[in-house]
Amino acid sequence: MTIASPIFKRVDNGGVATITINNPPTNLVDRAFVVELMALVDTLSKDEVTRVVVFRSAHTDFYVNHFDMSGVIGQPSSGEPRRGMSPLTALYLRLSQLPQVTIGEIRGRTRGAGGEFALALDMRFASQERAIFGQPEVGSGLLPGAGGTQRLPALIGRARALEVILSSDDYSAEEAQQYGWINRALPDDELSMHVNRLANRIANFPAAGIKHAKEMVNAATATSEVLLTDESERFQVLMKTPEVANRVKWLLSQDAISGGEVELHLGAALARLAEQSPPHA
């Protein structure tokens, strides 16, 4: 069974659904991505055949990228910030609670809301050569707004989570492995085989045990919905500030001028941006 889809291309085989994410040019988390992911999560939540879902990217340079900020510029900043848990946070929460086992096979940049997508998966395996991780929100004047401030410290501890989030910098797969951000870094030419073998292995095990084990581990590591909501609301408040709009405008214009260099080297671009802004503004 193969279901074609503009962004999430799904191929099923023996209880394993392999989803190839294709949202050119850089796999941004935009409106279409969110709508399709909602539909996929709906479908999977009722699927009693699929045991394991593997998420890989159609692009070697980008796994799942940050939130699409192009809509932020020029938006009226009037009106109260949105209250409650954001739709994206709620979607990632549902993703993390699916009855299936979800595995990220990560090549390319995995940043911002894309990094938070990866954090909502059950496991993350990454290419030593191609994977790059970063939460660039603080460098843009924001904070991670789709679970990152909660799931990252739970995985890697307070100090390393603060470093990653506050530095807004790029991290290699090796560093991510050492910090416990990912399960394991693998040579690029072994990554798919490793993930496929693991996915097929689990998919052949009885469904009831998989379901109960995941539910109990989820219970042991539950993220607070109160704090996720708090994070969403703080994100919405900051999104209304001119500081964020100005920074995003600068990043988008520099990316256009440079032919995409900002997206490729966002950690370095944020440092250049910061140096241009007076720190005590």
Site for a copy of itself in 163-192 (CB under 8 A): 163, 165-169, 180, 182-183
Number of residues that bind a copy of itself (CB under 8 A): 76
Between 68 and 230, CB nearer to a copy of itself? 230
Residue 54: left (phi > 0), alpha (psi -120 to 50), or beta? beta
| Lookup result for tokens 């739970």 | 154
CB 208 within 8 A of CB 48: no
> Residue 26: CB partners within 8 Å, gap ≥ 6?
59, 61, 62, 65, 109, 260, 263
Least spacing, CB of residue 268 vs a copy of itself, in Å: 10
Q: Which of 162, 196, 249, 255 binds a copy of itself (CB under 8 A)?
A: 162
What span, in angstroms and rounded, lies between the C-alpha atoms of 14 and 200? 8
Q: Which of 77, 241, 253, 258 binds a copy of itself (CB under 8 A)?
A: 241
Catalytic residue among 137, 190, 231, 275: 137
State yes or no: residue 46 binds a copy of itself (CB under 8 A): no
State yes or no: residue 1 binds a copy of itself (CB under 8 A): no
Site for a copy of itself in 69-98 (CB under 8 A): none
Catalytic residue among 48, 80, 116, 190: 116
Candidate ranges 30-38, 73-81, 185-193, 196-204; the one touching a copy of itself (CB under 8 A): 196-204
Q: Which of 216, 225, 257, 261 binds a copy of itself (CB under 8 A)?
A: 216
Q: Which of 40, 101, 106, 248 binds a copy of itself (CB under 8 A)?
A: 101
Least spacing, CB of residue 147 vs a copy of itself, in Å: 10
Candidate ranges 58-66, 79-87, 108-116, 206-214; the one touching a copy of itself (CB under 8 A): 206-214
Least spacing, CB of residue 2 vs a copy of itself, in Å: 18
What span, in angstroms and rounded, lies between the C-alpha atoms of 165 and 136? 7
Catalytic: 137? Answer: yes
State yes or no: residue 257 binds a copy of itself (CB under 8 A): no
Output phi, psi for 104, to 5 deg.
-90, 125
Catalytic: 116? Answer: yes
What span, in angstroms and rounded, lies between the C-alpha atoms of 143 and 159? 16
Candidate ranges 2-10, 86-94, 149-157, 248-256; the one touching a copy of itself (CB under 8 A): 149-157
Least spacing, CB of residue 234 vs a copy of itself, in Å: 5
Site for a copy of itself in 10-39 (CB under 8 A): 14-15
Q: Which of 3, 159, 256, 257 binds a copy of itself (CB under 8 A)?
A: 159
Q: Which residues are catalytic?
A: 116, 137
